[in-house]
Amino acid sequence: MRRGRDGRSERERVAFLLAGGVRLVYYGTPILAVPPLLRLIEDGKPPSLVVTRRDRPSGRGLALAPSPVRAAAEARGIPVATPERAGAPEEIERLRALAPDVLVLVAYGQILSPGLLRLPKIGAINVHFSLLPRHRGASPIQAAILAGDREAGVTTMWMTEKLDEGPVFSSLSTPIGPEEDAGSLGGRLAELGARCLSETLTRIERGEIVRRDQDPSRATYAPKLTREDSRLLLADDPVRFTRKVRAFAPEPGAYLELERERIQILSAAPGSIGAEAGPGEPPGSVLALHRERGLAIRLSSGSVWLKSVRPSGRKVMDAFAYANGARIKPGGMLPVKDLAA
């Protein structure tokens, strides 16, 4: 067993450091990062400091609103910092004064600098919303749905200077439902992430550090998504079209660019698969309108049912009501821009 200069093994050193209780600093921003934070508090491990994104404009009035993690932390009396940049000199000094044992990062939104990663006595743990090494990167939940994965998961990982490539401590998985969207899947993964983090820290405190390196040959990447990635195309096949809808629902919503407006599609189902559009039914043709199933349109290959939509500046409504209001009828055309796209 490899031992350090003080003669202790890694497990013995960690147990010695944590004899008086773990000191944590928590990095997180969106609603996904709230359950793991609350679980730390329930476990008797409240962070000494929560670091989160600065307040941003929100809602129709564009008033500044705190991140979900900031709201949750302040409601429980936990100090909060909102540095403009992770690893800024003033942040390094603030954390050095706190002398944390562990940094915990859950969907913070920025990469921690090498200086920050070297600061805690033990190290930094990332709760990543994927089954690493699959879907490393910024959008693992959307990537899992877009790829048609049958399961998703969470992983606790020791952070290194390489993006999501550190050794893995623990993973938990959950099946992805055939019609499940990113919102419902993300909510379930957030709860799994809380459990995975809790179990990981408990094992660290017991000196049960068992890490395994990731297999780089199995790695895939999920880069940060852009607005253009959520654009729905008539050239998409029905499976690709509906996976896009699920991956971007409920926010920001995949969208169709129409001649006079942009319409978000929040729920859709494949219609016919693989049937080529006939001469009388070009892509964009309205094939059917049904009170329960919605609005069926022709794609370049096959068709889809649009079930739930949100027109620009309006509330979510079912596609049947939208079509009636817009006077869209079978035999007509949905006025999609760039039909050849």
Strand ranges inside the chain, DSSP E: 24-28, 49-51, 56-58, 63-65, 80-81, 102-106, 123-128, 136-137, 151-158, 168-175, 221-222, 254-257, 262-270, 286-290, 294-298, 303-311, 317-318
* Ligand-binding site membership of 117 (annotated): no
List the beta bridge partners of residue 254: 265
* Ligand-binding site membership of 133 (annotated): yes
* Ligand-binding site membership of 9 (annotated): no
Q: Taking the mean position of all CA atoms in its chain, how far away is CA 23?
A: 27
CA distance linking residue 242 with residue 246, whole number of Å: 6
183 burial (CB, 10 Å; 0-12 / 13-18 / 19+) is middle
Task: With H, G, I as helix, E, B as strand and everything else as coil, classify residue 72.
Answer: helix
* Ligand-binding site membership of 252 (annotated): no
Asked if residues 250 and 265 have their Cβ atoms less than 8 Å apart, the reply is no
Q: Report the binding-site residues for (6S)-5,6,7,8-tetrahydrofolate.
A: 130-133
Q: Report the binding-site residues.
A: 130-133
